[in-house]
Structure 1
Amino acid sequence: MVRVRDPDSGPALPSAAEETARIAVERAVAELRYGRMVLVDGGTGPVLMAPAEIASPESLSSFVARAGAVPALALTANRAAVLHINPTGDDVELVTLAAHLTPSAIRALADASEDLSHPLMGPFRTRAMALTDNHRAALKLLKLARLLPAGLVSAPLGAPQAAALVAGGVLAVGAAAIYAYETTAALGLVRVAAAKVPLADAENARIIAFRPEDGGIEHLAILIGDPVPHEPVLIRLHSECFTGDLLGSLKCDCGDQLRGSIRQIAAAGAGIVLYLAQEGRGIGLISKLKAYSLQDQGFDTVDANERLGFDADERIFLPAAVMLKRLGYRTVRLMTNNPDKVAGLEALGITVTERVPHAFPSNGHNEFYLLTKKKRSGHYL
């Protein structure tokens, strides 16, 4: 179990069990990104899993040899609906791998960006094995690895077989640790660096970096001027966008929002931009590029994420709340058009005294994107 920590007092030292569980998740993420198998262990019997988007003849044969049976394909309900798989009412569907479902077909089932170029022939049969919480945790682990949430999974294994797999080098990770990981990492954010960085639109600026426990990509706090801790501070939560922020992509309004928030805060005299490592609404850069390819095929940004098997928005607001509290700010004026950001911060103990509108004109390439945020996600524009 994850202990509740007070974000105001800084990260607490984890127990030995918590540290072991967190490290197991981090190692499992690395294993999956290499295409290797992982054992997900919980109360319902451990299951063997591997990422479907990089399935190969060799990996499938190795999986069958280790599990002792042909795996099923675990898909989120969102992805299964796109494939016209009869819903069972669960959030995860297990698809039987018939003989015609080759590794190439498995990859296509996982990756919606290939739907039009490689049409899939159904119908697909589901529930060759009982769905367990460990199967759900397996898909969550794939999301943490920034991979598509589609996995090759076994039926629950017996203890002797699972022990033999671990002895043979297969990494085991607990389902509870997988679900706790994002919360644990956010509560464990550590301030690791700070420096004055004059910006083009705000010369009096400092950047403070917060590193997660896994040593991964840092979240940044950009402090402009000298915001007073005991007064409502003007802030912007900005999810990183490589294409928009750095390359000037016209497909979104992210670059405009980032630079506009810096200008507006500088004009107001003081405030904070939290630059959060949550690319593509939390799905990662590669999956975002796949979503972009779906948008080129005519799907909106919400449908594109869901066709890939994700939720419309996979972000969490706990890192932002923790950073604000570590910096000494609990009351804010939030620059956003997204009502979920207001509710998310309020639920985490940050008082939002005002929602400050933050919209920019369309550029001819992102008009549909902006309308989708309004109609499908409830954004104010």
Structure 2
Amino acid sequence: MSLAPALPELIARARADMRMGVPVVLRSSDHISLAAAAEGLSPERLAALKALGTTYMAITSRRAQTLSARAYDGDVARIILPDDADVEWIAAVAAPEHDLAAPMKGPFKTLRSDSATHARTAIALAKTARLLPAAIMVDLPVDTKEDLSALTSLPAELALPHMATLAPLADVVSARVPLTVSDAGRVHVFRPDDGAEEHFAVEIGRPDRNAPVLARLHSACFTGDIMGSLKCDCGPQLRAALAQMGEEGAGVLLYLNQEGRGIGHANKMRAYTLQDQGFDTVEANHRLGFEDDERDLRIGAAILKKMGFSSVRLLTNNPAKIARMEDQGIKVTERVPLKVGQTPENAGYLATKAKKSGHLL
């Protein structure tokens, strides 16, 4: 039996390395690439990468559109770093918080030849590491004399599609947790095998597995759920969903660790900074380089199946959640509206939800 890490474990290593500013090696049959997250890259490592050859920044087409950079590869753009580019230049291009304070960037020269698979892989790693979706990269021949043995190495053609698949979830443990809404509460912990965040299911009472269960897919929101932020309606929705389950005597709330619609705490705060500059939620995500919603709702369906549920009465205002549950084999017999938490402070946020994301408010 081999003790060497399998592909999911190598991806988890690479993700952790990128969070710490350590480059990773991406391999293909015709070349290799070194890729380091643009966020947190040290001057020393930047200098070492630039010494190896033509260095470029891989960004998403969303960020490229903001920067007026050509995305010849469709979904990604590869901006060649100027000779004098330093970490401050990289931060200005990759991070959008100060776009309005320093609007003059470029013009940019972008790559349009060779495969962009390595760039896509690097961006996917950065996203799953909850970093800005931008990577500093340099391409090398497969027979390079550079000693890269100390770096985590991934086969790019295998790693990229693997990251798009849903990681298997293990039902690690469950325990009784008396709650304010019900003393018959039980919390289940689900752990993905790819090293990503754990997710939780809060079970109220003893829901019948043979009948549609009152269910809520709730994405973690530190600011709303815990701090009582008025910028969103997450906290009131969480509490209202649990209260309704308590009143009915049964239900299951899935608490999914996908902060900020899947972009992570730091990027969510960057989005808030952009919202203070006049951009709405969707526009802020796009300027960051993300899509409107980066969450993986397949996780919710997988957890429901693990718990023995095949149909739900779904507490949601979001038709996309209904569609994804149905796609994944969970029958939605009823949409139960959840209209709470509207305040003057989140009026624009809710209007954007309705107009651009199709929420039924």
Match of 1:257 in 2: 237
1:95, distance to aligned residue in structure 2 (A): 0.8
Between the aligned partners of 2:348 and 2:217, the Cα distance in structure 1 is 23
Q: Please provide the CA RMSD for this pair.
A: 2.0
Match of 1:351 in 2: 331
Whether 1:159 and 2:142 are equivalent positions in the alignment is yes
- The answer on whether the counterparts of 1:140 and 1:179 sit within 8 Å (CA) in structure 2 is no
Deviations along 1:200-222, one digit per CA (max 9) or x if unpaired, are 12222111111122454321110
- The answer on whether the counterparts of 1:96 and 1:128 sit within 8 Å (CA) in structure 2 is no
Deviations along 1:13-44, one digit per CA (max 9) or x if unpaired, are xx979961011101101111110111112355
Q: 1:61 aligns with which of 37, 47, 50?
A: 47
Whether 1:183 and 2:169 are equivalent positions in the alignment is no
Between the aligned partners of 2:120 and 2:153, the Cα distance in structure 1 is 15
Go from structure 1 to structure 2 and tell me whether the alpha carbon gap of 1:289 and 1:124 turns closer, same or farther (over 3 Å shift): same
Deviations along 1:76-131, one digit per CA (max 9) or x if unpaired, are 00000001123436100111112343320111100011212333332111117534
Counterparts of 1:143-222 in structure 2, within 5 Å, are 143-155=127-139, 157-161=140-144, 164-167=146-149, 169-175=150-156, 176-181=158-163, 183-185=165-167, 187=168, 189-222=169-202
- The answer on whether the counterparts of 1:306 and 1:312 sit within 8 Å (CA) in structure 2 is yes
Q: TM-score, normalised by structure 1?
A: 0.89
Question: What secondary structure, in the 3-state scheme, does the structure 2 residue paired with 1:177 have?
Answer: helix
Counterparts of 1:282-321 in structure 2, within 5 Å, are 282-321=262-301
Go from structure 1 to structure 2 and tell me whether the alpha carbon gap of 1:44 and 1:146 turns closer, same or farther (over 3 Å shift): farther
Deviation larger for 298-307 or 176-185: 176-185
- The answer on whether the counterparts of 1:25 and 1:178 sit within 8 Å (CA) in structure 2 is no
Deviation larger for 280-289 or 172-181: 172-181
Between the aligned partners of 1:22 and 1:120, the Cα distance in structure 2 is 41
- The answer on whether the counterparts of 1:44 and 1:133 sit within 8 Å (CA) in structure 2 is no
- Counterpart residue identity of residue 264, structure 1: Q
Question: What secondary structure, in the 3-state scheme, does the structure 2 residue paired with 1:346 have?
Answer: helix
Question: What secondary structure, in the 3-state scheme, does the structure 1 residue paired with 2:245 have?
Answer: helix
Question: What secondary structure, in the 3-state scheme, does the structure 2 residue paired with 1:257 have?
Answer: helix
Match of 2:360 in 1: 380
- The answer on whether the counterparts of 2:29 and 2:142 sit within 8 Å (CA) in structure 1 is no
Match of 1:337 in 2: 317
- Counterpart residue identity of residue 20, structure 2: Y
The aligned length equals 360
Of all paired residues, the percent bearing the same amino acid is: 43
Whether 1:326 and 2:306 are equivalent positions in the alignment is yes
Segments of structure 2 that go 5 or more residues without pairing to the other structure are none
Match of 1:85 in 2: 69
Between the aligned partners of 1:93 and 1:228, the Cα distance in structure 2 is 50
- The answer on whether the counterparts of 2:232 and 2:349 sit within 8 Å (CA) in structure 1 is yes
Go from structure 1 to structure 2 and tell me whether the alpha carbon gap of 1:87 and 1:171 turns closer, same or farther (over 3 Å shift): closer
Whether 1:40 and 2:26 are equivalent positions in the alignment is yes
Match of 1:113 in 2: 97
- Counterpart residue identity of residue 260, structure 1: A
Between the aligned partners of 2:227 and 2:175, the Cα distance in structure 1 is 24
- Counterpart residue identity of residue 272, structure 2: Y
Q: TM-score, normalised by structure 2?
A: 0.94
Question: What secondary structure, in the 3-state scheme, does the structure 2 residue paired with 1:160 have?
Answer: coil
Deviations along 1:125-172, one digit per CA (max 9) or x if unpaired, are 1117534212111111111111111111123x22221x74433x1211
Between the aligned partners of 2:160 and 2:148, the Cα distance in structure 1 is 18
Between the aligned partners of 1:251 and 1:377, the Cα distance in structure 2 is 17
Question: What secondary structure, in the 3-state scheme, does the structure 1 residue paired with 2:49 have?
Answer: helix
Deviations along 1:59-80, one digit per CA (max 9) or x if unpaired, are 2111123xx2131111100000
- The answer on whether the counterparts of 1:55 and 1:107 sit within 8 Å (CA) in structure 2 is no
Question: What secondary structure, in the 3-state scheme, does the structure 1 residue paired with 2:291 have?
Answer: coil
Between the aligned partners of 2:316 and 2:353, the Cα distance in structure 1 is 12
Between the aligned partners of 1:53 and 1:166, the Cα distance in structure 2 is 22
Question: What secondary structure, in the 3-state scheme, does the structure 1 residue paired with 2:12 have?
Answer: helix
Whether 1:237 and 2:220 are equivalent positions in the alignment is no
Whether 1:125 and 2:109 are equivalent positions in the alignment is yes
Deviations along 1:275-295, one digit per CA (max 9) or x if unpaired, are 001111111111111111111
Between the aligned partners of 2:53 and 2:112, the Cα distance in structure 1 is 12
Q: 2:38 aligns with which of 43, 48, 52?
A: 52
Match of 1:12 in 2: none
Segments of structure 1 that go 5 or more residues without pairing to the other structure are 1-14
Q: 1:268 aligns with which of 248, 253, 263?
A: 248
Whether 1:138 and 2:122 are equivalent positions in the alignment is yes
- Counterpart residue identity of residue 159, structure 1: V
Question: What secondary structure, in the 3-state scheme, does the structure 2 residue paired with 1:154 have?
Answer: strand
